[in-house]
Amino acid sequence: MSTQHLSEQEIIRREKLQELQKLGIDPYPAPLYPVNITAEKIKQEYKGEENKADFADVCLAGRIMAFRDMGKASFAKIQDSTGTIQVYIKRDEICPGEDKTLYDKVWKHLIDIGDIVGVKGYVFTTKTGETSIHVTELTFLTKSLKPLPIVKEKDGETFDAVTDPEFRYRQRYVDLIINPTVKDTFLKRSQLINTIRDYLNAQGALEVDTPVLQAIPGGAAARPFITHHNALDVPFYLRIANELYLKRLIVGGFDWVYEFSRNFRNEGMDRTHNPEFTVLEWYTAYKDYFWMMEITEQLFEKIANTLHNTTKVQVGEKEIDFKAPFRRISIYDAIKEHTGFDVSNMNESELREVCKKLNIHTEASMGKGKLIDELFGEKCEMHYIQPTFIIDYPVEMSPLTKKHRSKAGLVERFELMVNGKEIANAYSELNDPIDQRERFEEQAELLKRGDDEAMYIDNDFLRALEYGMPPTSGIGIGIDRLVMLMTNQPSIQDVLLFPQMRPEKTGE
């Protein structure tokens, strides 16, 4: 066994591993171990003399996080998936015969913090009032060959926690072990997704799956990841959105479909952007964007209540209230409110001049829609802390959206802004195949001008529209950003179990 690149502690642990094997103890035994309880259940339900008979034969497994040697007896902390609990180990009880090797040799000298053990025994309360397990049988389950970072705990409070993001995101498995609040974030993420799924299913929506590998990266304005399909010998793209496939299903006769879509966009990374992210999209026939705003308000209010038992959620130093209804304001009015410029009737050159006056950087490839988007993004969106629907976008910004029924040059679209960021984007969907083709062709011209986020022409989707798609409303909700809000996390990396990282530097 090479020890060239191992630390002193790692070398010692490997020596202990060999000692265990010499004693006939398998450091990695078969996985079956008859666990019948959790640390959380014991702490919540054990009432002392009142119900101690119910806890007279418990079996628990977990990782050793601390121990205190008292000679012929020891206390230790064991952490399972639900939390930590104290165990009391007495030499003569786990070694009832003359052979005391399990205690004197294995427990005291060959077991380390981070090792995984199984314990059987009964629950009791110590003289200091701590609920604990009195161990009568100890089983070695896994030897840990790397030492855990040391995290101190006193009176239930954790301090000296590991906070280095590079370590935490790259070695999330260790982060989950040593930082107790991290697991709670991901439990809440799962609870949030299940709340949405239960809500949509109760409304009659159908969950579906659509392709991740796509011949044309459609449904959004974004730069795709490109790959190659060897069997077909053609380029393919990781999806930037699932919108056009879900609309095909509306054409096919489904009234309401949804998907939690893992999307990929070959763009920048920062505290609110990750190249791989999760979006919920749904499309509902015979509905419009007014209906969609009401449903979205109801859903967000339900999520807040489910996770926090209130509509008010603490996000940093701000309290955000998800109580419906939310404020509504047009994008033109929002720009006027925060810049003083009425851009509603401006052409491309006039918009470019406004951007110049406001010190907003622009590119020659940007058309009218991109310029308005820059204006709103740079000067407006950060002001919308409480949930606000930004509505009625110019047609140039929304190539997949139905034209407004009463306002020329606009489309029936909203973005939901919360805490200064877009959380959801919704339309009354464009179902006119001739209009859609013209807008795709306008996007193709932007591609020629160098806009690598402009949309491709999807001829199969146009063919589907020609068969007839009923009036439809659709929405996309950024799940990662929503989880950030609902769990009070400042960075998208804190709500992704394994965020993208630069390749790890290796070497001696």
Query: Could you tell me which residues are annotated as the binding site for Mg(2+)?
Result: 415, 422
Sorted by sequence, the CB contacts under 8 Å of residue 365 that are 6+ apart come out as: 446, 449, 450, 451
CA 273 to chain centre: 12
Structure tokens at 428: 């009354």
Q: How far apart are alpha carbons 445 and 143 in whole angstroms?
A: 62
DSSP secondary-structure letter at 429? B
Q: How far apart are alpha carbons 436 and 465 in whole angstroms?
A: 9
SS3 of 338-401: the string is HHCCCCCCCCHHHHHHHHHHCCCCCCCCCCHHHHHHHHHHHHCHHHCCCCEEEEEEEHHHCCCE
Cα dist from 133 to 64, 122, 204, whole Å: 14, 6, 48
- The helix/strand/coil state of 496 is coil
* CA dihedral of residues 64, 151, 5, 498 (deg, nearest 10): 90
Residues of the binding site: 415, 422
- Answer whether the bond into residue 325 is a cis peptide, omega within 30°: yes
What single-letter amino acid sits at 70? Answer: M
Count how many Cα atoms sit within 13 Å of the Cα of residue 376 in the half-sphere of its side chain. 26
Rounded to the nearest 5°, which phi and psi values hold at 350? -65, -40
